[in-house]
Amino acid sequence: MAQYKTQEDIEINLKRLRLEKDIAWEELKGIKGDFKEAVQLPNWLQTGYKMISKFSTMMLLKRIIK
């Protein structure tokens, strides 16, 4: 537990903690935006397209080899 000598020390520490809280809150907002963007339908379609194209390429190569 911190020992404070003056009221000014307490106020400085409170300001620092408030700024740290605000920074953390803004980081959470950014993460929320990134998550919303990642969950959007076009991103899922793009991922699905990549997986299907890899699978179809593997199946085509398998048929060519046989």
pTM: 0.55
Residue in the structure block whose two tokens are 């085509």: 60
Mean pLDDT of 59-64: 87
Residue pair 13/2 in contact by the 8 Å Cβ criterion? yes
∠ CA 42-46-50 to the nearest 5 degrees? 170
d(CA 34, CA 51): 22
What do you get for the CA distance between the two ends of the chain, in Å? Answer: 73
> For residue 37, what pLDDT is reported?
81
Quote the tokens at residue 26.
């803004």
- For 2-50, how does the pLDDT look when each residue is reduced to its tens digit (9 = 90+)? 788 999 999 999 999 999 999 999 999 999 988 888 777 777 788 888 8
